Chain A
Amino acid sequence: MTMTPEEATRFSANLDRLVGAVEEVLLGKNRVVRLAFTALLSEGHLLLDDVPGTGKTSLARAMAQSVAGTSNRVQFTPDLLPGDITGVTVYDQRSGLFEFHPGPVFANIVLADEINRASPKTQSALLEVMEEGQITVDGVTHAVGHPFMVIATQNPVEQAGTYRLPEAQLDRFLMRTSIGYPDHASTIRILEGADQRAHGHRIEPQLRADEVVELAALARTVYVDPTIHDYVSRLVDATRTAREVRLGVSVRGALALIRAAKTHAAGRGRHYVVPDDVKALADPVLAHRLILDPEAEFDGATASNIIAQVLIETPPPSSRQAV
């Protein structure tokens, strides 16, 4: 079953409402907000590479409020323990039973702030919940609910006392992007309405959580032509054979790109994916999955540059018969 044009139109309208609502808080960041909701509706997680004070927490909170869901913020520190995230089992003397006290991960949107400051053991505690949407404590599995999304941040500037995220964990993030500083006009607007955008400001929920789950299910039904599959396959192949790359994009990365492209297409009111959807998401979905050759990295090569080069060199499909 594939999405109909009418469903695509409805999907696009709902996404626009969500994006519009969050944009009231995060001015001038339409692309990042849209990417964040694309990740949410693709049932993926978002990694924000950003310096402090760019609105990461505001984004997470606004997203949670816009979908009438819950959100928690976890400040990762070196002494943070896995139980501090997942929750712990405590013995209740009155009932004589062990009770599970859920951790901050039990929310619709979890902001893992400065995730690279926690120890690898704590970071890996997020692995199961990010991949499967559930955690296991003392042999008991607990579902975190739907929708569920982790927005993790890391500071690319301060490296002292941090633990670089392992590749396996990076691969579990659907996208990586950055909010960045607002442009001049947006900065002026922020300064003019600073008191209105105080932390107490709450935006109206646009969708219920179950409606978001339904939209995510709908996004999976977007049609993908075989030529698009071929295009994505050629793209990831190209990242694996690039001279500057030590480890290219995995199959999980290719699947993630298709999944995100579907949501992107639906968000544009289309019930089918075009090569432009793939191109638009190639950098945020694929770049953080590349492991560069140290020499190339020393020479100034970046993952984003390599993805851009691969996009230039790999011709997109132009017809049905291309495969």
Chain B
Amino acid sequence: MTQTRSQAGADRFWATAVSTLLIAAMLAAALIPWWPIYESTAFIVAGAVAIVAGAGIGVAGARRRWPAWMVVVAVFAAYLVLGVPAAVPGRALAGIVPTPVGVADLLAAAALSWKQLVTIAVPVGSYQALLVPPFLSALVAATTAVTIALRSRRPAAAVVPPALLLVGGITFGVVHTAFAVEAGLAFLVAAVAWLVRVAISKRRAITSGRPVETALADARRVFGASALVAIALVGATAASLALPVPQRNVLRAELQPPFEPREHESPLAGFRAAFDPDSSERAMLGVRGLPEGAGIRIATLDTYDGIIYSVGGIDGTALSGRFTRLPYRLDQSGAVDVRIEVSVLGYADVWVPGVGRLERIAFGGPRAEQLAEGFVYNDVTGTGAVQEGLDSGDSYTAFSVTPADPGSLVGLRPGTSVLPPSPDLPAELAQLLDEWAPATGDPGRRLAQLIKGFHDEGYVSHGLVEERRSRSGHSLDRLAELATESPMVGDGEQYAVAAALMARRIGFPARVVVGYLPGAEPSETDATPPAESDVTVFESADLQAWIEVQTAEGDWLSIDPNPDVREIPERHPDQPTVVSRPQSALPPPAERTPVDDLDPDPDLSPDDQDDDAAAWLQVLLGVLGVTGIVVVVLALIASPFIAIIAAKLRRRRLRRGAATVVERIEGGWQEFADSASDFGYPIRPNATRAEQAATVGGLAPLVLASVVDRAVFAPDGPSDDDDRRVWESVDELQERLGAPRTRRERWRAAVSLTSLGGYAVTRRGARS
């Protein structure tokens, strides 16, 4: 008796351990979608602690039969004790001992961290208390799942809490689909494993004492689950190849950004003010670590409404206008190659100057914490900002990645980014473009010719008193004036905008960058603080605008279209033709529609549209493609039903073709009993044939049962022809079962899993 009890205790221990491990696997899989939010080992620690603590509470509650309120108290206690070191490690002494401040943060984070999580740029690492959402969710999910598994009558429902955790990870996660398929498949495998475990446990409770049958049933369930996972893998792969990837909607994408760039003046709008003689020599920034000759970006502008070049799209919906908080770092591809230390001198604006694509930033000075809190960043344009604005005395260190310099513009191919639409290129600029860069060349060569044109033909004047008159602004009429004026006079404001519009006409996604470029000579005024040798001091007059174009590699390449400062020749006011246009051997390009002008895709060839045969073929291929996708989708939907019917047909064939007459007769009865099960008759697994026949009702099943019993249990056995007659009787009885049913009921019986998942598959006749 003692041995039996110890054996039972050991069995219970292993059953609990296996159940807990499978649930932990489900929870771990459910946490995968949370990973892109954190990308930190602190997240792994928090998730592991939550799963272990939750599972422990669930097991202890089940073993000691805790009431529900005690389980809730245990979860709360675990949250308080483990929450600070696991989810708010920055507030724990030595990373372990909770502090009062940490506990306060932990409690507040239970309510506040959810919104913070979706309004911050990812990854967030262990920033503040942002690990609380996954920690708390995993803790509650683990406790609930283990409690359901060990104490509920429906342990299969334990899959629900991890599923909710998975959905939470997707909802609070990121827009891009990294890990989506992997997370889904991992969770599917873990969930199927758990459901198989539950089914096997139930089956063992019924088949205890029949080890062979139990083992066969277990093997079938594991095989079935493996097949299900395999089908899911194939299906998911086929679907991912055949179906278009839909837009992924997450909370993060739906919330309002914390920084609205349209509320702030475009840096290009006040461009000329920087050259005011009274302040032009005022030191703005001191930058250490800047590559020689390199400039520093203030803001990147991608939206032009014909008057003002700004950022964020005309209606504010462009991705370039979405600024998110950057607490930790951004995951930029490539190693950090630039580290700049910036001291703010006279600069006062919301934009945070920088270079390349920012990976992380650390603020210094008395307002460091305040600036870090308010710092936002747009990774699309590489522009940073602080809500409060930078001011004298502020400083920061930025780590960035800069794209490789291609050396020559010739040979560049346009990228594929879609920028906010812009107005038509003024005719004057279009003529200038045709003159400098005829359409016969490839895009890279035309871009190089365009830049060379500005360098050769342009002259710089900021319109100051002692300079040649040059109107400020960068509206379309000012750009037209720039194109027709002889000589061409303007400054970075006009040259950059004109060059950006013309580059877009060529096909390159192009945008305007406002920043500081090193001046020709260092200032020697008293107002400028003494600069160290490796510190570049930018003055107000060093403000400049240039363009960035995207190459086919995806990099944004900075190009300066501004001509060198040189003496401006005299104007020729009576000359009607400003520029001469060489004769072109090719006809002028077809007039573009406004849509064409907004489309950055340079590969669109009108010849393709004129080719009827090609268009017909394209339509045919499109129809075939859609038809194929529809067929694949329908096949995927129908595949489970087809698999069930095929399995039943195969089972019937095996039974009817069994090796001996007795086995064929037994198989005939099992076929009938399975049909009855599928039609909804409560055929009990441990019933005799006569009892099963009585369940169905009628004389014919009873006669068939007695015939089969005689074949099986009588000493003389069946005659050679008995199996044929049994199967004829089975066919007739199956028809009788279906005859009074509707077509829908017959179809449901045909695809019913009852006879495949219940006792019938464990019975012998299906094997020869």
Contacts and interface: CB of A to CB of B under 8 A. Distances in A.
B606 interface: no
A271 B684 CA distance: 27
Contacts of B666: 318-319
Nearest to A226: B713
B209 interface: yes
A316 B712 CA distance: 13
A2 interface: yes
B715 interface: yes
Contact of A223 (B691, B715, B763): B715
A272 B764 contact: no
Contacts of A2: 715
Contact of B686 (A223, A313, A322): A313
Contacts, number: 67
Contacts of A317: 712
Interface stretch (A147-155, A156-164, A274-282): A274-282
A312 B688 contact: no
B46 interface: no
Contact of B713 (A225, A238, A312): A225
A14 to B, nearest CB: 21
A319 B661 CA distance: 12
A272 B765 CA distance: 22
A146 B764 CA distance: 46
B622 interface: no
Given A223-B715, A272-B710, A319 B688 contact: no
B763 A318 contact: yes
B688 A274 contact: yes
B688 A275 contact: yes
Interface in A273-302: 273-276, 279
B719 to A, nearest CB: 13
Given A273-B713, A320-B712, A315 B210 contact: yes
Find the residue from B206, B663, B691, B709 having the highest chain A CB count within 10 A. B709
Contacts of B684: 312
Given A274-B713, A319-B663, A321-B764, A238 B688 contact: no
A187 B77 CA distance: 71
Interface in A237-256: 237-238
Contacts of B686: 311-316
Interface in B181-224: 206-210
B520 interface: no
Nearest to B764: A319
Contacts of A228: 713
A227 interface: yes
Interface string A203-243: 00000000000000000000101011000001001100000
Contacts of A320: 662, 712
A276 B690 contact: yes
Contacts of B208: 313
B685 interface: yes
Find the residue from A271, A314, A315 having the highest chain B CB count within 10 A. A315
Contact of B209 (A234, A276, A311, A321): A234
Contacts of A234: 209
A224 to B, nearest CB: 8
B322 interface: no
Contacts of B465: none
Interface in B582-599: none
Contacts of B669: 318
Contact of A319 (B206, B662, B714): B662
Contacts of A227: 712-713
B357 interface: no
On chain B, which size bracket covers the interface? 20 to 34
A316 B688 contact: yes
Contacts of B687: 316
Given A234-B209, A238-B209, A318 B690 contact: no
Interface in B682-721: 684-691, 709-710, 712-715
Nearest to B207: A315
A262 to B, nearest CB: 12
A227 B709 CA distance: 12
Contacts of B709: 274, 276
Contacts of B764: 318-319, 321-322
A314 to B, nearest CB: 7
B658 to A, nearest CB: 10
Contacts of B670: 318
A275 B689 CA distance: 9
Contacts of A313: 206, 208, 686
A276 B691 CA distance: 8
B305 to A, nearest CB: 81
A311 B684 CA distance: 12
B713 A279 contact: no
Contacts of B207: 315
Contacts of A279: 688, 691
A279 B690 CA distance: 11
Contacts of A223: 713-715
A269 to B, nearest CB: 10
Nearest to A237: B209
A72 to B, nearest CB: 39
Find the residue from A223, A238, A274, A318 having the highest chain B CB count within 10 A. A318
A315 B713 contact: no
Contact of A276 (B210, B663, B688): B688
Interface in A255-270: 270
A315 B709 CA distance: 15
A273 B715 CA distance: 10
Nearest to B206: A313
A38 to B, nearest CB: 18
A297 B685 CA distance: 29
Nearest to A322: B764
A315 B764 CA distance: 13
A274 B707 CA distance: 11
A91 B187 CA distance: 96
A270 B669 CA distance: 20
Nearest to B762: A315
Contacts of B209: 234, 237-238, 314
A279 B539 CA distance: 104
A315 B214 CA distance: 13
A225 B712 CA distance: 9
A225 B691 CA distance: 20
Interface in B737-768: 763-765
A321 B658 CA distance: 13
A209 B55 CA distance: 74
A237 B209 CA distance: 10
A319 B768 CA distance: 13
Nearest to A314: B686
Interface in B652-674: 662-663, 666, 669-670
A1 to B, nearest CB: 11
A248 to B, nearest CB: 14
A317 B663 CA distance: 13
Interface in A111-137: none
A64 to B, nearest CB: 33
11 contacts: A2-B715, A271-B714, A271-B715, A272-B715, A312-B684, A313-B208, A313-B686, A314-B686, A318-B666, A318-B669, A322-B764
Interface of B: 206-210, 662-663, 666, 669-670, 684-691, 709-710, 712-715, 763-765
Given A274-B690, A274-B713, A279-B691, 9 more contacts: A223-B714, A270-B710, A274-B709, A276-B690, A276-B691, A312-B684, A314-B686, A317-B712, A318-B689
Those 6 A-B pairs whose CB atoms lie nearest each other, nearest first: A223-B715, A272-B714, A315-B686, A225-B713, A274-B709, A275-B688
